[in-house]
Structures are given as C-alpha cells and as structure tokens.
Amino acid sequence: MKNSKKTLLTLLAVAINCAVQTAAAETVLRRGNGTEPKGIDPQTSEGTAEANIMRDLFEGLLARDRDTKLIPGVAEKWEISEDGKTYTFHLRDTQWSDGTPLTAEDFVYAWQRDVNPATGGKYSFLLYPVKNAQALTEGQNKDLNQLGIKALDARTLQIELEASTPYFLEILAHASTYPVPRHIVEKHGKNWTRPENIATNGAYTLKNWQPNAHMTLNKSGTYWDKGNVKIDQVIYYPTEDKNTELQRYRAGELDMTYEIPLDQIKWIRENLKDELAIGPYLGTYFYGYNITRAPFKDNPKLREALTLAIDRDVITDKVTGAGEKPTYSFVAPGINGYDNYVPEYASLDKAARIEKAKKLYEEAGYGKDKPLKVDLLYNTSENHKKIAVAVAAMWKQNLGVQTNLTNQEWKVFLTTRTEKKQTEAFRAGWIGDYNDAYSFLELFQSKSGLNDSGYASEKYDALLAQAAQEQDMAKRAAILKEAEKMLTDDYPVAPIYSYVTKRLVKPYVKGYADENVMDHRSSKYMWIEK
C-alpha cells in the first residue's frame, strides 16, 4: 500500500513538473489593439483593430509575409488563363480548427455570402472584378450560384472575372475574401464567432473574448504551417485611451502598443527611443462631409472653404509630431507606378489659402452674421480629439464657424457614420487594402458600403470601371489620376495627412518589421527572446 502510494505521488510530481515546464515554455505576446472590435466575421467586419485579429485567426487564398509581399496562403499554387479572366487555385490539404476539412466549397460559400445584400458586407465591392459580383451585390441578380467562383473538386477552386484585372491577386489576402466554415455559420448564425462556437483556419484559434477587456488567441494545432509559428498565445487588449495604454506598457502589461499618445511623443523620444517604432504607412487621415444632407448637400463651395481653412502643417508639426506628412489628395503617396493629383490650393501660401476660403464661405451663404454651425464627429480617442479641437479652432479663427465636437465609442461611431442620418462632418482614415491607387479610389464608388460621405457620380464610377479593365499600366494610372482629380475637386472629403505607424515595442519582441507600409503584423511572424 505504502509503495503504491509512493509511486502515485512520484507520478503526480512528475506530471506536475512536466506541466510547469510546459507552461513555462509557452510564449505569450500581449498586443495593444486600439478600439474594442465590433466583430471578427471576415465578411462583415471593418476597421483596423478587427483586421489585426482576423489575420491571426484566418487565412485566405493568398497571404502576406513579414514585409507585406504576397505569398501563397491556403492556395499553394495557381494558374491564370491567357486572357487573364480565369484563375485556377490548388488548395493545400488543410482543415478548420475543429478538425473539419477545409475545401474549395468554403471559399465559394464565403464569397457568395460576401456579395449577398442580406449579409451587409462592407467590402463586397472588392469582389466586383469577379463575374456577376457587382450585379449580385446591388441586387440586380439574385442567383448567388451565378457568382464567378466554383469548386471543381474539394481542393481546386476556379474563379472567372468580368475582365482581366491587373490587381486581382492583391485582394485575395484581404480579410473579406477569407473562407468561413459553413457548418458553423449555418448552425450558429450571428453567434458563430463566439469562442465556444467558432472554427478558424489561421495560425491561431479564439480561446476567449471578454468585451472591453481582452481577446485571447491560442496557437492552432491544425494550421498547415504551425511548425513555423513561435508564439503560443496572443492576447489583444483594446485601449482607446492612449495614455492608459502607455501606462500599461510601462508597467510591463503590454509587449507592444497599438499607438502612442501624441502629447507624450517628446517624452517617449527622450526616454524610450530604442522602443519607439515609427515607419511609413499606406494610409490617409481625413475628414469627410456628409453630402446627403444639409449643410453640405449641394454646397461644394462650403466643403471647399472648410477644406482650405485647415492648416495641415500645424497639425503635423504641432499636434501629431511623429513624421506624418501634410496631404491634399486622398490617395496616399508612395503607391507603385502612380503620381498623385495635387490640387492647385496646395501651392498657395497660408494667407492666400485663407483668403480664398473666406471668399468661398461667403459665396456658400455664410459669414459673420450667419455663421455655419456644424457637428464634427470623431471616435473616442485623445489623439482624434486633439486633431478635432485644432481643426475646430482653425475653422473658427479663419471663417467664424461654430463647431460642436461629438465623440462616440467605436462601434456606435461606425454605425452613426454609415447611416448618414445625423453626421455632418466626421473623422475618418483609410489604409490601402493593397498597394494600388484603386484601393483608395474605389472607396467612393456610388454603391460602396464604406462610402460614408455619400459621394455619387456616374462619371467617377465609369472612370473606375474603365481603369479596372485597362491592361496598359500607364494608361490605367492616367485614368485613376483623372478620377482622383474629380474626387478632389468635388470635395466630399478633406485629406489632412499621410499616416505613419507609431508604437512602442519591447526589445525582446522579434520579427517586427519597421518597413511594413501596410502595417500587417501577423503574430505568426513574431517571437520572444528574453
């Protein structure tokens, strides 16, 4: 009896010791992630915070490496027909995290779901190059089986395009094109992304989700490339207050921040310079005007006046201060093979620009005796607040505009902005989904789900349609530039500056690439060295 008891105790001690050793060996990456995610459904989610998480949980036909170059994802190889209209993808032998085989049908289901108006997908316009995608999205065609995507067999996927599309491969790494598990979605409906229900095909699985607290992801045991995934667990922390995020980072609760507070950048440069990571970012920070309702509807002179009255140099030098560049056009600079349209007012000195703004303001029907009263909406963030306060002061000083600042929590903000029922002017930002001017300009197509200004122009839509099919890259760039000129001169938005990424990263976090212009920083490419 004693020997048995001793043996049992010995075995228990060994088991406990092994468990402790295993736990100690596990590596955890704690990431700040800005706002609380509105959702992690690939076909319905929007926003950078959501995309960061989905890139860890899911994988599309193609993926991006540490430097954002396109690489094979679920598709290990593919062929393109001579006319450029038919793509055939050969899928890896892989599975969902619940052990169910992942097949070509999962992509068919996801893409049909994306273009189905009932889904409410924000990025369905990305699939417009696919045969019948636009007609299905707009409800002109209701037969989802006519979408130009079909499974030839379990591991062979064929996609037919309306016309040869030079940038088509670029969109296949976007979250909206990720597959989803049909057996899970149909069983659980809108609740399919809950931790107890979800199945994923990426490097990580969702362990738990405590709203406004954290999301915990565990390394997937079914991911096809799990052998190269070094981080065992990733914890995302939503923190809208950047000063609070900084405090958590300094206290050792975060390994990397989402951003940094603008008012602390001088202190950070002096005290944490070796941990400050600043790099180029393919994105534009801008203000939008809701042109579907007063006061901006049918009043382009008013929109132009407010746009000209914004001193971008003051904002980038005195407010942001991290290397952002003033911009006057919507397409971010640095796009491959593209030369931005720059409006005439960009070359005017400050005095001349303000003088022109005042003249336009009066012509729009406003002045000292009749000041514009406008609501400016931004999502909760000290950084966004500082910019909004600065812009409101400029509008007041230069034109006499009375601005009411309104902030909303991220989820509410997105809904308000999309509905266009209350918004007048609003904060926004756009990060290129791929390195092409089209990725910026397609946002303002009449039927785009992310066109929160309500801009609608048949001519503009026609130019983008023409560019989408143009095979001569020089001619295509010229068409896109003409579209950008039209958009800029109609003033549905006021571009303010080009983004840079700015965050703090602990020295022991390896695999963080500084020259990552799209800021796609998948956890699977990082590791910890302490």
Q: For residue 25, what pLDDT is reported?
A: 61
CA distance 348 to 364: 21
Q: Within the chain, which residue ranges are assigned CATH 3.90.76.10?
A: 30-220+505-528
Q: Within the chain, which residue ranges are assigned CATH 3.10.105.10?
A: 283-502
Q: For residue 73, what pLDDT is reported?
A: 98
Is 368 exposed, middle or buried (CB count within 10 Å of its CB: 0-12, 13-18, 19+)?
Answer: exposed
Query: Could you tell me which of 62, 81, 103, 71 has the C-alpha nearest to residue 160?
Result: 81
Span 30-220+505-528 CATH architecture = Alpha-Beta Complex (3.90)
Buried b (16+ CB within 10 A) or exposed e, 6-37: eeeeeeeeeeeeeeeeeeeeeeebbbbbbbbb
Q: For residue 5, what pLDDT is reported?
A: 45
CA distance 377 to 425: 6
Q: For residue 23, what pLDDT is reported?
A: 43
Alpha carbon dihedral 332, 410, 38, 55, in 10-degree steps, equals 30
Looking at the DSSP bridge assignments, the partners of residue 30 are 235
- Residues in CB range of 207: below 8 A, 6 or more apart: 195, 216, 217, 218, 233
Regions in the chain scoring below 50 on pLDDT = 1-24
Q: For residue 333, what pLDDT is reported?
A: 87
CA distance 452 to 437: 19
Please answer whether residues 52 and 33 qualify as being in contact, where contact means their C-beta atoms are separated by less than 8 angstroms. Answer: yes
Please answer whether residues 426 and 287 qualify as being in contact, where contact means their C-beta atoms are separated by less than 8 angstroms. Answer: yes
Tokens of 244: 């609070």
Pairing between β-strand 276-289 and β-strand 233-237 as defined by DSSP bridges:
unpaired
Q: For residue 24, what pLDDT is reported?
A: 45
Tokens of 483: 């579209």
Task: Give the number of other CB atoms < 10 A from CB of residue 48.
Answer: 15
Please answer whether residues 27 and 230 qualify as being in contact, where contact means their C-beta atoms are separated by less than 8 angstroms. Answer: yes
Is 177 exposed, middle or buried (CB count within 10 Å of its CB: 0-12, 13-18, 19+)?
Answer: buried
pLDDT in tens, 502-530: 999 999 999 998 778 889 999 999 999 98
Q: In this structure, which topology does domain 283-502 adopt according to CATH? A: Dipeptide-binding Protein; domain 3 (3.10.105)
